[in-house]
A and B are shown apart, each in its own frame.
Chain A
Amino acid sequence: MNIVVCIKQVPDTTEIKLDPVKGTLIRDGVPSIMNPDDKGGLELALQLKDQYGAHVTVITMGPPQADAILREAFAMGADRAILLTDRKFAGADTLATSHALSAALRQLDYDLIIAGRQAIDGDTAQVGPEIAELLDLPQVSYVEGLKYDGKKTLDIRKQTEEGYQIWQVETPCLLTVLASANKARYMSVSGIVTAFDKEVEIWSADTVKADPATLGLNGSPTRVKKSFTKGAKTAGKVFEVDASEAAELIINKLKEKYII
């Protein structure tokens, strides 16, 4: 089984601050990390490697510094790493990113493509599903666990707002995975020692034979009109009442504010 995991380097948003005037992120001094949902996806792939001897490739699109998360993936147990980096990819929104990644994925043999549900910097949850559409693959999103029959069939547990659903899907397919699906393993010491002896393959727009019109800023229909910092909320009010009274109280409060 060949698995490709799409991963992204993101600023650690738990440590990020906003510039109150410009409304932009202050990225200085904020550590870059592997996106948590992507790490959950990589863990799922590595578990399939442990159980079935799957070959795990990780791929990321980003600047040369994104090498760090590919080394981290090697240290966790990934077999192959590809860095998609080219000025032509710069300024990409989710659609252009999906075009670049799917072009790269067409160059690879895969039975299963795994992506994180969403990245903590953009929170769009679009790239995984867009790749599946571009590659015409069945997809299951919000995956929190799976069982594999060792051949072609995956029983997937998909998280929903109400609970979960069980889906059966055949490979090749694409899954988007939640960080909460599993506890990602630590890098091993020997994995870290050998991670820097391995080759991270550098792929450009030419390598993946992508249509330049679909890439970077040119291929991005999204335009940011304005970004701003939401004003601070006032402190909430706490009511300590029985559950029976609470529903009525909430309804009345919402009505007072013309919300319902």
Chain B
Amino acid sequence: MDFSITKQEELFLQMIREFAEKEVKPLAAEIDEQERFPEETVAKMAKLGIMGIPIPTEYGGAGATNQMYSMAVEELSRVCATTGVVVSAHTSLCCAPILEHGTEEQKKKYLPKLASGEWIGAFGLTEPNAGTDAAAQQTMAVEDGDSYILNGSKIFITNANYAHVFVVAAMTDKSQGVKGITTFIVEKGMPGFSIGKKELKLGIRGSATAELIFENVRVPKENVLGKIGGGFAVAMKTLDGGRIGIASQAVGIAQGAMDETVKYTKERKQFGKPISKFQNTQFQMADLETKVQAARLLVRSAAYKKDMHLPFSVDAAMCKLFAAETAMEVTTKAVQFHGGYGYTREYPVERMMRDAKITEIYEGTSEVQRMVIAGKLFK
């Protein structure tokens, strides 16, 4: 395994960092404050190919690696975690399952418009009574001629209000338990399909998180994604990939908080010298820097395995677990280093602390990641 940055990745980082600094960072506080989805940024990202980074060129994507996709989510999240998750949910949770499990017709129909960013994607698995216990799905899909009729609801769906394509899990045979779950591609505007209440959240407040409501939604059989009864496997594999995206987001948030704290502690003077000169600051920051780099390397390792088509579920769980907890620790301490100022919205670290929390919860809580890791350990 070689973790040096290739010349291509170097050029990619140059582009994405410049884009993040100039186009994303200036809006970060505003979209958080106004709880506003950054449509203008998505349009700019679409133009540059950021909405289809790891999608093959034959389906309209850029044909880049998962490693580069992960770097993009990190760099965007470094300045704005909302923008990071918009890209991550779209790419990992909607484009990826269609690419990996879709028929040729489905890929040709959906991927070019998703990869170009003309359409935004979303993923619906979580329900009011089916969170970590994803098998407790209550959304039903009943076969009816050449279609399935969907009824039920999904909650906490990222990108919901702005998405055009949704990968949705539903029960096709309740008696089969997890083997009775099937995934469907649902399109915005299908009769009976509506978007419910938008959540008011602690962090990633620019991200549009809402409920999906299905009332006798007729979904044609050609929109079944993967096999009938194979939906749980599709969902779990999708989340494996998604965890690399969220771990990248967490590393980005942590790095952003480090950047801010280094800058602040060099400027802030107490007792006649910058607080960066105190050993307490130095030692704590050294520990945090080490953790951020360790988290990043775990992410790189998982992304590398995905690119090499090697098994990566446990790697994805580990990088997501470690990166999320690192992001929470770094951002909490960043606020502490900033003192009273850090608690105000004048500085971005309080936003970063609020944004970091979700990385320990969505796409599998830290507890779920520990279950995945332990499951492999005690197999």
With beta carbons under 8 angstroms apart, the residue of B7, B14, B48 that contacts A189 is: B48
- Residues from chain A with a CB closer than 8 A to the CB of B18 are 186
State A115–B19 Cα separation when bound (angstroms).
25
Q: Does A95 contact B (CB under 8 A)?
A: no
Chain A residue numbers with a CB within 8 Å of B12 are 189, 192
Contact with B along A47-75 (1 / 0, CB 8 A): 00000000000000000000010011001
Q: Is B11 touching A195 in the complex (CB atoms < 8 A)?
A: yes
B294: CB under 8 A from chain A? no
A208 to chain B, nearest CB (A): 26
Question: Is chain A's interface secondary structure helix, strand, loop, or mixed overall?
Answer: helix
Inter-chain CA distance A193–B69, complex, in Å, is 12
Cross-interface CB contact of B62 among A68, A190, A196, cutoff 8 Å? A190
Q: Is B64 an interface residue (CB 8 A)?
A: yes
Smallest CB separation, B259 vs chain A (Å): 15
Give the residues in chain A near B8, CB-CB below 8 Å. Answer: 192-193, 195-196
Find residues 32-69 in chain B having any chain A CB closer than 8 Å to their own CB: 47-50, 52-53, 57, 61-64, 68
Max chain B Cβ within 10 angstroms of own Cβ: one of A71, A72, A187, A188: A187
B361 at interface (Cβ–Cβ under 8 A)?
no
Contact assessment for B7 and A68 in the assembled complex, using a CB-CB cutoff below 8 Å = yes
For A190, the chain B residues whose CB sits under 8 A away are: 49, 57, 61-64
Q: Assuming the A-B contacts A68-B7, A196-B7, are A186 and B64 also in contact, with contact meaning beta carbons closer than 8 angstroms in the complex?
A: no
Nearest A residue to B6, CB-CB? A196
- Considering the complex, which residues of chain A in the window 171-207 have a beta carbon less than 8 Å from any beta carbon of chain B? 186-190, 192-193, 195-196
Does chain A have a CB within 8 A of B371?
Answer: no
Among candidates B10, B48, B52, B57, residue contacting A186 with C-beta atoms closer than 8 Å: B48
For chain A residues 24-68, which have a beta carbon within 8 Å of chain B? 68
**Distance A196 CA – B68 CA, assembled complex (angstroms):** 15
Q: Which of B48, B57, B68 contacts A188 (CB 8 A)?
A: B48
A189 & B53 in contact (Cβ 8 Å cutoff): yes
A189 to B64, CA, bound (A): 8
- CB pair A188–B49 under 8 Å, yes or no, is yes
Q: Is A187 touching B15 in the complex (CB atoms < 8 A)?
A: yes
Residue of A nearest to B72 (CB): A189
Among B11, B47, B57, B61, contact of A192 (Cβ-Cβ < 8 Å) = B11
CA distance A195 to B49 in the complex (A): 15
Known contacts A186-B15, A186-B19, A71 near B62 by CB under 8 Å: no
Select from chain A the residue with minimum beta-carbon distance to B19.
Answer: A186
Q: Within 8 Å CB of A188, what residues of B?
A: 47-49, 62
A187→B48 CA distance, assembly (Å): 7
Interface residues of A (CB under 8 A from B): 68, 71-72, 75, 186-190, 192-193, 195-196
Please give the residue numbers on chain B whose beta carbons come within 8 Å of chain A beta carbons, in ascending order: 7-8, 10-12, 14-15, 18-19, 47-50, 52-53, 57, 61-64, 68
Q: List 28 A-B contacts (CB under 8 A).
A: A68-B7, A68-B10, A71-B7, A72-B11, A72-B14, A186-B15, A186-B18, A186-B19, A187-B14, A187-B48, A188-B47, A188-B62, A189-B12, A189-B15, A189-B48, A189-B50, A189-B62, A189-B64, A189-B68, A190-B49, A190-B63, A192-B8, A192-B12, A192-B15, A192-B62, A193-B8, A196-B7, A196-B8
A190-B62, A196-B7, A196-B8 known, 13 other contacts, Cβ within 8 Å: A68-B10, A71-B11, A72-B11, A75-B11, A189-B12, A189-B48, A189-B50, A189-B52, A190-B61, A192-B8, A192-B15, A192-B62, A195-B11
